[in-house]
């Protein structure tokens, strides 16, 4: 059965651009950032995305005026060319915030203005959130149709809520109570003991990480038969060789502790003699990075939507005493509807009850590291607000602030270079980004908790309850026209005859459906032979040697059927024993937390 291929986006964004360059192209894009070519190209194509486009047009709506004011098609964003003419000289990135640093600083120092409406809504949402934690049923929720994430004209208001913690305040009171809640909902309905047979044959490769690959699989038996999942496969020998066992255990532990609409869910974990398997929500929308590289940068309202969802995800993990520590667009995936799913919890840390303290490790992705992490001064929840600021800035400009390939220079810039804010940022966005990217974590937006960030004027028009309930229509619809087996099943259960026919077909998912299902992933992975393994003799010899280092207890407790109590996980040994070798793009913890 052929399904319409996934297609593009909200009509208020430019028409669907061609797919992004392959991953090798992504690497080149990075090198273009470094050489300045990327900025040059951005400069040439300025105007191809209207940052002030706040019309909020949505599917089915038309706006002739909007179409007419769009730049000509030839100027629509194209995938970033990997072959820029050599004679184009890179132009340096401009510092174009009116008033520059002084204005930003003066905005930071303004006192808290009362914002009863926003505060009331945030409080309302928070109350709802607590209730949802206790009882996840939405039965009594008022039925409201999908809301558009549409910006209203915002009154001029650039004042940043005061974020400073008084010098002598015991900041540990900020979130201790929340951190004691370990009430993650677990799935009670599964009676199956998971194993690899349940998911064979594997369907497509989705991507590769430093220690293994992620493949698309379909559950072949049991209640969720036919459902698609992403299965992360890690070779034990790689983990041992690269001292990544604790990282993997952390990822598996944290994933089973969290339960949130904007965080990737772990369904099963199991192991074979030589591999570990994590079965996760499949995110057919692909990486946020993939979409950002197609559009080069997002209009402010789009950046606001994604950052608001990420803010809720951060609030959820912080409430559970977990910090993420690796916020970057590559770790944010989109579900079929275009809502975010935060993933890759390998650098997360549990047991944090303080915004500034609790962890010591120097870890993260260099370009995104918070100053307090670099300084190894101790860090807490506030690192993730810094990470959110970095993502927000990157969404609105196309690259993270202070970017350079020279590692020493990068760290110097992260520590002390002024933040350049383009003049295209609204005052609210500039205030929010500079508040999140405040170097002193005691003064950073979010230090007083998620609510203080939610109340920022940049998020003024966000309906948090609706957003949390996924009733706000996402600005990018990455899988339009594609029906997931789960949605088909849902309709079938509701007695929809057309879908019953579809449902018969989901168990025999054909190549065309598969192409549609992986449309937002790079060809270089999705076209790989799914079972290909390196069986070279040297590799095998190394593997045997590495595996012999493992004792029977190394991965004890890894398997997960969705039913264990989170406290059991917390009681397992989680001492850190990481070496300094890690993936090229990440810095692994160098000290014990």
344 binding ligand ATP? (CB under 6 A): yes
258 binding ligand ATP? (CB under 6 A): no
Is 213 known as a binding-site position?
no
- Are 21 and 82 within 8 A, CB to CB? yes
Q: Write the interaction track for ligand ATP spanning residues 426-465; mark x where CB under 6 A is met and - where it is not.
A: ----------------------------------------
The correct pick among 245, 283, 390, 391 for binding ligand ATP (CB under 6 A) is: 283
Q: How far is the CB of 205 from ligand ATP (least distance, A)?
A: 9
The correct pick among 100, 146, 422, 583 for binding ligand ATP (CB under 6 A) is: 583
232 binding ligand ATP? (CB under 6 A): yes
CA separation for the pair 593, 558 (Å, rounded): 22
238 binding ligand ATP? (CB under 6 A): no
207 binding ligand ATP? (CB under 6 A): yes
210 binding ligand ATP? (CB under 6 A): yes
Buried b (16+ CB within 10 A) or exposed e, 92-108: ebeeebeeeeebbeebb
Q: Write the interaction track for ligand ATP spanning residues 549-568; mark x where CB under 6 A is met and - where it is not.
A: --------------------
Site for ligand ATP in 174-203 (CB under 6 A): none
Shorter beta-carbon distance to ligand ATP: residue 151 or 335: 335
CA separation for the pair 78, 21 (Å, rounded): 10
Residue span binding ligand ATP (CB under 6 A) among the ranges 84-92, 97-105, 280-288, 535-543: 280-288
Tell me the DSSP string of 297-333: S--HHHHHHHHHHHHHHHHHHHHTT-B-----GGGEE
280 binding ligand ATP? (CB under 6 A): yes
- Are 19 and 478 within 8 A, CB to CB? no
CA separation for the pair 181, 345 (Å, rounded): 19
- The length of the chain in residues reads 593
Contacts of 240 (CB under 8 A, 6+ apart): 546, 547, 549, 550, 554
214 binding ligand ATP? (CB under 6 A): yes
Tell me the DSSP string of 351-380: ----SS-SB----B-GGG--HHHHTTS-B-
Q: How far is the CB of 580 from ligand ATP (least distance, A)?
A: 16
Residue span binding ligand ATP (CB under 6 A) among the ranges 24-32, 267-275, 340-348, 430-438: 340-348
Count the site residues for ligand ATP by CB under 6 A.
21
Site for ligand ATP in 62-91 (CB under 6 A): none
The correct pick among 28, 230, 292, 363 for binding ligand ATP (CB under 6 A) is: 230
The correct pick among 129, 282, 468, 560 for binding ligand ATP (CB under 6 A) is: 282
Shorter beta-carbon distance to ligand ATP: residue 458 or 558: 558
Q: Looking up tokens 């009171």, which residue turns up?
A: 173
> What ranges make up the beta strands (E) of 408-474?
472-473
The correct pick among 333, 342, 437, 476 for binding ligand ATP (CB under 6 A) is: 333
- Are 239 and 222 within 8 A, CB to CB? no
589 binding ligand ATP? (CB under 6 A): no
Distance between first and last Cα of the chain: 52
Site for ligand ATP in 346-405 (CB under 6 A): 346
Residue of 389, 452, 455, 449 lying closest to 425 (CA atoms): 389
Run of H or E including 211: none
Shorter beta-carbon distance to ligand ATP: residue 329 or 358: 329
Catalytic residue set: 326
CA separation for the pair 291, 80 (Å, rounded): 12
Quote the crossing angle between the two packed helices 497-506 and 485-493, to the nearest 10°: 140
Which residues make up each annotated binding site for ATP? 232
**Under the rule (CB under 6 A), what is the footprint of ligand ATP?**
206-210, 214, 230, 232, 264, 280-283, 287, 330, 333, 343-344, 346, 583, 586
């Amino acid at each position: 059965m052929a399904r319409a291929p996934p297609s593009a986006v909200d009509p208020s964004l430019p028409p669907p651009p061609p797919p992004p360059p392959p991953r090798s192209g992504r690497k080149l894009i990075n090198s273009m950032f470094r050489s300045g070519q990327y900025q040059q190209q951005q400069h040439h194509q300025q105007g191809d995305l209207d940052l002030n486009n706040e019309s909020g047009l949505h599917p089915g709506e038309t706006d002739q005026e909007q179409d007419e004011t769009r730049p000509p098609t030839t100027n629509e964003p194209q995938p970033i060319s990997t072959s820029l003419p050599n004679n184009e000289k890179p132009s340096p990135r401009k510092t174009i915030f009116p008033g520059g640093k002084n204005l930003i600083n003066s905005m930071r120092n303004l006192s808290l203005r009362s914002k009863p409406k926003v505060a009331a809504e945030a409080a309302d949402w928070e109350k709802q959130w607590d209730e949802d934690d206790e009882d996840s049923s939405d039965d009594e929720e008022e039925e409201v149709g999908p809301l558009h994430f549409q910006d209203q004209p915002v009154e001029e208001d650039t004042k940043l809520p005061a974020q400073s913690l008084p010098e002598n305040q015991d900041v540990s009171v900020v979130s201790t109570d929340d951190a004691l809640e370990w009430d993650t909902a677990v799935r009670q309905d599964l009676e199956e003991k998971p194993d690899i047979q349940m998911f064979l044959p594997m369907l497509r490769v989705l991507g590769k990480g430093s220690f293994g690959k992620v493949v698309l699989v379909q559950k072949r038996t049991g209640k969720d038969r036919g459902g698609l999942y992403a299965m992360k496969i890690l070779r034990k020998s790689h983990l041992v060789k690269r001292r990544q066992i604790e990282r993997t255990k952390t990822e598996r532990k944290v994933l089973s502790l969290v339960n949130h609409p904007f965080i990737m869910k772990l369904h099963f974990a199991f192991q074979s003699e030589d591999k570990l398997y994590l079965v996760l929500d499949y995110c057919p929308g692909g990486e946020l990075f993939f979409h950002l590289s197609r559009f080069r940068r997002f209009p402010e309202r789009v950046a606001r939507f994604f950052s608001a969802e990420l803010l809720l995800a951060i609030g959820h993990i912080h409430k559970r005493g977990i910090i993420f520590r690796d916020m970057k667009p590559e770790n944010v995936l989109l579900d079929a509807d275009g809502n975010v799913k935060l993933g890759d919890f390998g650098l997360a840390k549990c047991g944090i009850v303080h915004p500034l303290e609790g962890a010591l490790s120097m870890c993260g992705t260099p370009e995104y590291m918070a100053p307090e992490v670099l300084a190894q001064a101790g860090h807490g929840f506030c690192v993730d607000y810094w990470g959110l600021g970095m993502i927000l800035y990157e969404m609105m400009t196309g690259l993270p602030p202070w970017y350079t390939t020279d590692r020493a220079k990068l760290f110097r810039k992260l520590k002390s270079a002024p933040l350049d804010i383009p003049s295209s940022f609204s005052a609210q966005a500039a205030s929010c980004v500079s508040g999140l990217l405040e170097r002193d974590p005691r003064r950073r937006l979010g230090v007083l908790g998620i609510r203080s960030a939610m109340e920022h004027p940049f998020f003024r028009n966000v309906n948090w309850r609706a957003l949390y309930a996924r009733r706000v229509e996402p600005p990018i619809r990455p899988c339009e026209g594609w029906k997931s087996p789960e949605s088909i099943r849902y309709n079938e259960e509701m007695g929809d005859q057309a879908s019953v026919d579809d449902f018969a077909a989901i168990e025999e998912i054909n190549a065309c459906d598969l192409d549609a299902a992986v449309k937002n992933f790079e060809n270089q992975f999705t076209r790989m032979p799914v079972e290909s393994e390196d069986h070279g003799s040297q590799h095998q010899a190394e593997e045997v040697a590495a595996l012999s280092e493992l004792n029977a207890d190394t991965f004890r407790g890894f398997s997960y059927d969705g039913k264990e109590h989170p406290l059991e996980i917390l009681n397992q040994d989680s001492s850190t024993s990481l070496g300094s070798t890690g993936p090229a793009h990440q810095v692994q913890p160098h000290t014990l937390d």
